[in-house]
Amino acid sequence: MSRIGKKAIPIPRGIKISVSGQTVQVEGPVGKLSWTHRPEVTVRVDAAANAVLVERSSQERLARSLHGLTRSIIANMIQGCLNGYSKSLEIYGVGYGVQAQGPKIALSIGMSHPVLFDLPAGLEVEVKVPQARGETEPARFTVSGPDKQLVGEFAARFRRARPPEPYKGKGVRYVGERVRRKVGKAFTGTAGG
């Protein structure tokens, strides 16, 4: 039996959850999410215990692996609809920046044109530009929403547009991410000959 899968998921106050067939719908103060699970597992709401239970139909390898996965995804949906998820990023580099232009986000990351991203439905991007921006103060922005996978995937797309390079550290990185720096070429200053 999966240790994660057999744990009941408590339903907090303010969350409405319904299961119809293989579709699980969760609604809360932050948003509304829907997900269709695989037929190898069953999901039911226990009203007496005020919890969601995930059970598997057989002991096959696929059913065992989907048991804990399904429980984790539903727990993340409940947490996301209750509190939401967020990822904070920062941009280092002279002239680098970020702008919100309606449903698009524009990154200025040292290319001849701004890199545009379409904002998916259900996500928000909050841009925090520092008051007196110096070379050491990065532009920061936060991606937030109820869907944990969508928030992480969208933040990773930003980082992939210009990953931090190891010599000067310029690029997009997560807040608190440590970039291993390399030493550049040493200049001796003597002419050969």
Q: Is there a contact between 119 and 98 (Cβ–Cβ < 8 Å)? A: no
Check residue 99 and give its pLDDT: 87
Choosing among 3.40.640.10, 3.40.50.150, 3.90.930.12, 3.20.20.60, the CATH entry for 9-82 is 3.90.930.12
Check residue 185 and give its pLDDT: 80
The pLDDT confidence band at residue 139, using thresholds 50, 70 and 90, is confident
Rounded to whole angstroms, how far apart are CA atoms 80 and 14? Answer: 12
Question: Residue 110 pLDDT more than 60?
Answer: yes
Torsion of Cα atoms, 126 then 129 then 130 then 134, to 10°: 140
The domain ranges of the chain are: 9-82, 85-174
Say yes or no: do domains 9-82 and 85-174 share a fold: yes
Check residue 181 and give its pLDDT: 87
Question: What backbone torsions phi and psi does residue 120 show, to the nearest 5 degrees?
Answer: -65, 155
List C-alpha distances in Å: 140 to 3, 6, 40, 137, 152: 39, 40, 43, 9, 16
* Tens of pLDDT, residues 2-50: 688 888 999 999 999 999 999 999 999 999 999 999 999 999 999 888 9
Is the whole model's pTM more than 0.75, yes or no? yes
Check residue 133 and give its pLDDT: 53
Average pLDDT rounded to a whole number, residues 122-148: 80
* Tens of pLDDT, residues 43-100: 999 988 899 999 998 889 998 889 999 999 999 999 999 999 999 999 988 888 888 8
Check residue 77 and give its pLDDT: 94
List C-alpha distances in Å: 14 to 44, 131, 146: 19, 38, 14
User: What is the percent of the chain with per-residue pLDDT over 90, rounded to a whole number?
Assistant: 49
The topology (CATH level 3) of 85-174 is: Outer Surface Protein A; domain 3 (3.90.930)
Tokens (6 digits) for 68? 């804990």
